[in-house]
């Protein structure tokens, strides 16, 4: 151990930033820093300091996802990331440092998942149980690094201990799964409903898995054969390759009772054409879940008559709430979903920039596990 590291740890102890005596932390760490559009660099930067109500995690696994790929392409996220910045948000880690004001229930060495946000619990929306729409939603990023700072509000509201029986990669699915479980809850799906899922990226496939587990008859749609194979493995009762059929709406309806159309439709492909496809597909009285977020300014064509006289219920769930983050980790603990079906490869942090280049062309990766 270097003398300088010793000295730094001693200084921190004197300042009272720690309540436990952890093994001395290094001053610097490897981290992926986003500089702009498709400009991600692996750098040695300072290990984040923590405030009295914060904790520091040693990252065990961070998973890539569609949002990170989107942010990497754009180079920023209006609400979450202004470059240059660390990023990555699906994380499981081990507590290595604890601020003195943090609840005594947490201690060094605990394995935890921390959500990428936490609501204020005081604003108009929070008081009405719509914490996902919190006017002061606090976001946190920086999972693609050796260490990650967890802000106090996330420690208090959205950090959970991971049971010993749960694998790192599975635990790291908690955040996207929380969004999906909330989306399913808002749809009010009954068992044996037919539900079409448009798009078989990580989110679409998570819907396929969880809906199948809960008794729905899932019809998965995608443009490529490989993700449809995965959808079948995850429980889809039928799959439709939209490139191979003349009319996807007719193809899906033919798979439903009396050709009525699915009881529920989930749009998880992320473009205006698939939003329109979802709106055209549901049966009379069905529900359409427009799940993917499109860039501001995007327009979608809707025929009001086909919505109104068929009484199509439209929902567009965004993000997650503390309740569903907890339900997600619990579903993972019960084994309802496993990262084995989603994580195609584990890579060291150093290879992350090249991995994003590869994911841009979608060469078969669903999710990557990054181990710093
Ligand atoms: Zn709020």
**DSSP-derived pairing of the beta strands 39-46 and 111-114:** unpaired
CA of residue 138 to ligand 1 center, whole Å: 9
Nearest one of 234, 275, 98, 94 to 171, comparing CA atoms: 94
Query: CATH classification of 177-315 is 1.10.645.10, yes or no?
Result: no
Confidence of residue 77 (pLDDT cuts 50, 70, 90): confident
CA of residue 51 to ligand 1 center, whole Å: 22
Does 7 score more than 80 pLDDT?
Answer: no
Superfamily covering domain 3-173+342-371:
Medium-chain alcohol dehydrogenases, catalytic domain (3.90.180.10)
CA of residue 287 to ligand 1 center, whole Å: 28
CB 174 within 8 A of CB 160: yes
> pLDDT of 161-193, one tens digit each?
999 999 999 999 999 999 999 999 999 999 999
CA of residue 145 to ligand 1 center, whole Å: 29
- How high is the pLDDT of residue 21? 52
> pLDDT of 292-328, one tens digit each?
989 889 999 999 999 999 999 999 999 999 999 999 9
CA of residue 119 to ligand 1 center, whole Å: 5
- Using alpha carbons only, what angle is made at residue 111 by residues 105 and 114, rounded to the nearest 5 degrees? 85
Q: How far apart are CA 145 and CA 167, in angstroms?
A: 20
CA of residue 111 to ligand 1 center, whole Å: 27
CA of residue 158 to ligand 1 center, whole Å: 14
> pLDDT of 249-286, one tens digit each?
999 999 999 999 999 999 999 999 999 999 999 999 99
- Sequence-ordered list of residues with C-beta below 8 angstroms from that of 235, at least 6 positions apart, any chain: 208, 209, 211, 212, 213, 218
Delimiting residues of CATH 3.40.50.720 domain(s) in the chain: 177-315
CA of residue 201 to ligand 1 center, whole Å: 30
b/e burial code for range 274-294 (CB count within 10 A of at least 16 → b): bbebbbbbbbeebbbbbbbee
Gyration radius of the chain over CA positions: 22
CA of residue 153 to ligand 1 center, whole Å: 11
> pLDDT of 138-164, one tens digit each?
999 999 999 999 999 999 999 999 999
- How high is the pLDDT of residue 364? 64
Q: How many angstroms from the chain centroid is the CA of residue 353?
A: 20
CA of residue 139 to ligand 1 center, whole Å: 12
C-alpha dihedral sign at 284, 287, 293, 296: positive
CA of residue 156 to ligand 1 center, whole Å: 14
CA of residue 324 to ligand 1 center, whole Å: 16
CA of residue 202 to ligand 1 center, whole Å: 28
- Number of residues written out for the chain: 372
CA of residue 329 to ligand 1 center, whole Å: 23
3-state secondary structure 116-139: CEECCCCCHHHHCCCHHHCCCCEE
Delimiting residues of CATH 3.90.180.10 domain(s) in the chain: 3-173+342-371
Nearest one of 298, 260, 281, 271 to 197, comparing CA atoms: 281
Q: How far apart are CA 339 and CA 63, in angstroms?
A: 10
Six token digits for residue 100: 């003195």
> pLDDT of 33-42, one tens digit each?
999 999 999 9
CA of residue 101 to ligand 1 center, whole Å: 22
CA of residue 186 to ligand 1 center, whole Å: 20
3-state class of 75 per DSSP?
coil
CA of residue 127 to ligand 1 center, whole Å: 7
């Amino acid at each position: 151990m270097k003398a300088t590291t010793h000295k730094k740890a001693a200084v921190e102890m004197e300042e009272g930033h720690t309540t436990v005596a952890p093994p001395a932390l290094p001053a610097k760490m490897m981290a992926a820093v986003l500089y702009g559009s498709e400009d991600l660099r692996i750098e040695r930067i300072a290990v984040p300091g923590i405030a009295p109500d914060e904790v520091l995690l040693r990252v065990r696994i961070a998973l890539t996802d569609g949002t990170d790929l989107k942010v990497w392409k754009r180079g920023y996220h209006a609400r979450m990331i202004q470059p240059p910045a660390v990023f990555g948000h699906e994380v499981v880690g081990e507590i290595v440092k604890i601020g003195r004001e943090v609840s005594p229930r947490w201690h060094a060495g605990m394995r935890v998942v921390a959500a990428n946000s936490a609501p204020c619990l005081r604003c108009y929306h929070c008081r009405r149980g719509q914490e996902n729409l919190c006017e002061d939603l606090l976001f946190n990023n920086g999972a693609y690094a050796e260490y990650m700072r967890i802000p106090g509000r996330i420690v208090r509201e959205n950090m959970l201990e991971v049971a010993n029986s749960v694998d790192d990669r599975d635990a790291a699915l908690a955040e996207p799964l929380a969004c999906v479980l909330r989306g399913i809850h808002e749809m009010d799906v009954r068992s044996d409903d037919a539900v079409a899922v448009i798009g078989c990226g990580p989110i679409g496939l998570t819907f396929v898995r969880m809906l199948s587990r809960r008794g729905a008859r899932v019809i998965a749609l995608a443009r490529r054969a490989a993700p449809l194979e995965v959808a079948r493995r995850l429980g889809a009762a039928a799959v439709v390759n939209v490139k191979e059929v003349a009319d996807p709406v007719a193809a899906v309806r033919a798979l439903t009772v009396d050709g009525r159309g699915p009881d529920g439709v989930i749009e998880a492909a992320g473009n205006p054409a698939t939003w329109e496809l979802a709106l055209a597909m549901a049966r009379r009285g069905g529900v359409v879940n427009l799940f993917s977020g499109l860039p501001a300014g995007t327009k979608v064509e809707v025929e009001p008559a086909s919505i109104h006289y068929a009484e199509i219920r439209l929902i567009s769930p965004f993000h997650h709430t503390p309740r569903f983050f907890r339900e997600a980790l619990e579903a993972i603990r019960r084994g309802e979903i496993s990262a084995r079906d989603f994580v195609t490869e584990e890579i060291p942090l150093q290879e992350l920039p090249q991995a994003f280049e590869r994911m841009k062309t979608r060469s078969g990766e669903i999710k990557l596990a990054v181990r710093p």
